[in-house]
Homo-oligomer: A and B are copies of this chain.
Amino acid sequence: MTEAATARRSRITPEREAELYGAVLDLLREVGYDALTMDAVAARTRSSKATLYRQWGGKPELVAKAIRHNKPGSIDDVDTGTLRGDLQALTSREDDCTMQQNAALMRGLFMAVHANPDLLQAFKELLIEPEMAEFHRVVQRAVDRGEVRADCPALDYVVHMLVGAFATRTLIDDRPPTQEFLSSYIDAVVLPALGAPVG
């Protein structure tokens, strides 16, 4: 951030900033990126549009900041001793409500991120990478333990399997993703594809 930007940003309290970012994420879930207007953000947060533009420059910057701000902190390492135990523990850490909020946010951003590299980066940082780094760690430990063969071709597709099921659940079944769904999918698809024990 430039010094000028820091000076501009310092006028707003951290609490107010968090509140504003929360409202932006709510709007993203409700209407999606393309339909989200600075007018709506101003109305929802009782700010003036002039303030929003002065502080953030524009919609892409504001949305990217809001996503980054909401990025979860470092998560405790999960280590149950089996791949199944680890994957089930990772997916049950997020309650169904959070999971559905993230699914709605993913839908709201799915088109826009392909046209906006900065948004794509923020989106990956929030919704894809933190969880996926953790999934890669538990899978690597399963390889180290000999539960999964190091040359198993499905190792390249752990993220596709999990994010794909999460992202398409509502579309295919008219039901949002839940812990129960992901748990069943891990046992039915992810572990067998990796050749790891299910039971």
What are 10 A-B pairs at a CB distance below 8 A? A32-B34, A154-B192, A156-B188, A160-B172, A160-B189, A161-B164, A161-B165, A163-B171, A164-B166, A193-B193
CA distance in complex: A171, B164 (Å): 10
A interface residues, how many (CB within 8 angstroms) = 41
Is B168 in contact with A185, judged by CB distance below 8 angstroms? Answer: no
Known: A163-B171, A164-B168. 4 other contacts (CB 8 A): A113-B171, A128-B171, A157-B188, A161-B161
Stretch at the interface among A11-19, A78-86, A104-112: A104-112
Interface centre among A113, A171, A192 (most CB of B within 10 A): A171
Given A32-B34, A107-B114, A160 and B156 touching (CB < 8 A)?
no
Q: Which residue of B lies closest to A165 (CB)?
A: B160
- Does A147 interact with chain B (Cβ within 8 Å)? no
Which chain A residues (149-184) contact chain B, with CB distance < 8 Å?
A: 153-154, 156-157, 159-161, 163-172, 184
Residues B170 and A189 in contact, CB atoms below 8 Å apart: no
Answer whether A172 and B107 are a contact pair too, CB < 8 Å, given A161-B164, A189-B193. Answer: no
Q: Tell whether A168 pairs with B163 under 8 Å between CB atoms, given A157-B188, A189-B189.
A: yes
What B residues does A110 contact at CB under 8 A?
Answer: 107, 110-111, 171
Q: Which residues of B contact A128 (CB under 8 A)?
A: 171-172
Is A118 part of the contact surface with B, judged by Cβ < 8 Å? no
In the complex, whether A72 has a CB less than 8 A from a CB of chain B is: no
- Docked complex Cα distance between A163 and B110 (Å): 15
Contact, CB under 8 Å: B111 / A108: yes
